[in-house]
Amino acid sequence: MDLASVCAAFGLSAASGLNAWLPLFAGALLNRLDVVDLAAPFDDLSGTGWIVVLGVLTAADFIGDKIPAIDHVLHAVGTVIAPISGAVMFTGETGVDADVPTLVAALLGAGTAESVHAGRAAVRPLSTATTGGAGNPVLSLIEDAGSAFLVLVAFVLPVLAFLLVVGLLVALFLGWRRVRSRRAAARAPT
């Protein structure tokens, strides 16, 4: 098993949880440019048609996530798309150099992406409530930048990508616990 490929796969699937389309588009484009190798059949994503479709979806998501109401629809759709994207990215990355069984890779990728997406989805209502929605476009830009950064680090410094994913998951978990305890304290009788 190639540890670097597994670490990169975790980085790519976590990036899918922040922005489901960006890692797919970046992976397909980088595979097309022979910068990275994705395992078959995921290397088919580097065909011209797929790159155009993924590029359009990435751009539409990037713009739509900055618009109130549309961002909520995109997050609902992301609940399904993010784990699929994470599974594709994890399986495509580990299928080249690692001996991770396909089902295990798909489950690890989907679980990682969905965990990050769930944490992201838990933070967004807090942003909406505290800023009247004005902070959501800024938060969306941070998520997009984080996804792009994780993709880059996953391909260049895979072990660092894995450590960033662990840190991100811990931060999301701690944030979720904090929000949950504040809600419980607000509901408690005084």
Domain count, the chain: 1
Q: Is the pLDDT of residue 145 over 90?
A: yes
Domain that holds residue 133: 3-187
**Gyration radius from the chain CA atoms:** 17
Helix (H, G, I), strand (E, B) or coil at 40: coil
What pLDDT, in 10s, does the model give residues 90-137? 998 887 667 788 899 999 999 999 999 988 887 777 777 788 878 889
